[in-house]
Amino acid sequence: MLVFYTSKITNRIKYIFDFIFSELIITDYVLYDDFATFQATDGFHVVYDKNSPEDKYPLIYMKDIIISGDIIEVPVKSGICGGHPVIFIHKSSKSVMPFDPFAAAFFMVSRYEEYLMHKRDTHKRYLYTNSIAYHNNFLNVPIVHIWVDILSEKLKELFPEIVFKKPAYRFMPTVDVDLAYEHINKGFVRTVGGAFKSFFLGDFHAVKDKILTMWHLRKDPFDTFDYILKLNETYDTDMIFFFLLASRGEFNKGNYEYNRNYRNLIRHVRDYADVGIHFSYNSMEDENLMKYEKSLMEGILHSTVTRSRQHYLRFEIPLTYQCLSDTEIMEDYSMAYASITGFRAGVCVPFKFYDLEENVVSKLEVFPVSLMDATLVDYMKLGNTAAVEEIKRIAGVVKKYNGCFIPLWHNSSLSGQGIWNGRENLLEMVFEYGKADK
């Protein structure tokens, strides 16, 4: 058992110790702020502080961010350790590590930097170009896992008898249903209006497609649910669908929330996969809207809904997560950047949200997404070969660190239309590379 001493135990310290030693390198540990109790307890002794009361105990130097209760700009000095980029390096000659792995992990997982003032995009989303990960070139890897591996190697060096366990790899594909159908179930006015618009624009192929679909002579291009569910059955995964239930607006173009066929589709999918709520564009800071949309979904499913994702990956920390928690959402799947693949929080395993404003651990669990279809094709402009290589790389990295691979796809991305023409195979590649190795 690891026995730690620190002169001041804070909620931040307890949070990151629990995360590291319960989720990443699993082992028993205790943490004391009484030095006599620390000395009297059997185990592998480590001091985590500015100085060690006795030199015989190995010291890991502590940075102030981990004991502070404030949210302020802090100097984040970076360097290299073991060939990897690290942050919160220091000059203490007595420390057994050249950086503070606990402060570094806390900074990333708590999303500390997102509480501070930064430029945002047109959707008021935090820009990846603001992040310390981007500026230190480690956004493309789950850097916290690397730092924790450096920590575990040092602890094994100090205590050869110590044993760490790693979590099992998991694959959780997810599908966002922003628009279940392109042509059908939109109502007479919208359908006919769309056909006339295409006609006057000279897009006669679109007119033909609409007519054939409306007369049930061709399947709606966005109705790819049977194919997705067949993949899920073949690969035997824990798939989750997130359905949008929002009043129509500029960024909510889904099917009407009271449409009977849409509600039946949700129930049908729920028979074969898990279903969560895809909170609408305007819900980012509106708890009442979240509660309303959640109640709609619960009315459709006749069961409690505890999983969600924000439309457009549009959220603000901590406000959105506070609203989600108050709405009785237990799991959120929005932690990703829309415009680039990678690891926004530096990890590829779920973690409890730490509310820096309250300095408490929330009941909300965050499930980080590392890959989205639109990111590959629309934002990063990758060709098919490059997109498959990035899928393979991300899945391989997550497997290497025994993480949870959570890709994000859309039913509409399998339509073969527009930028998705010739991209129909990408989702199958996600399943092929994401499946657990035998």
Q: Residue 37: how many CB atoms within 10 A of its CB?
A: 12
Q: What is the pTM of this model?
A: 0.92
CB atoms inside a 10 Å sphere around CB 236 = 10
Nearest one of 408, 371, 411 to 390, comparing CA atoms: 371
pLDDT tier for residue 187 given thresholds of 50, 70 and 90: low
pLDDT digits (tens, 9 = 90+) for 37-52: 999 999 999 999 999 9
Q: What is the pLDDT of residue 386?
A: 97
- Element (H or E) spanning 87, and its range? strand 84-87
Averaged pLDDT score across all residues of the chain: 92
What's residue 193's pLDDT?
47
What structural domains and CATH numbers belong to the chain?
Answer: 2-158 (no CATH), 170-182+220-434 (3.20.20.370)
What number is the average pLDDT over the span 250-273? 82
SS3 188: helix
Q: How confident is the model at residue 194 (pLDDT cuts 50, 70, 90)?
A: very low
pLDDT (mean) for 331-337: 98
Q: Which of 191, 23, 21 is nearest to 31 (CA)?
A: 21
pLDDT of 303 strictly over 80: yes
pLDDT at residue 215 tops 70: no
pLDDT at 352 over 60: yes
DSSP code per residue over 44-81: EEEEEESS-SSTTS-EEEPPGGGT----------EEEE
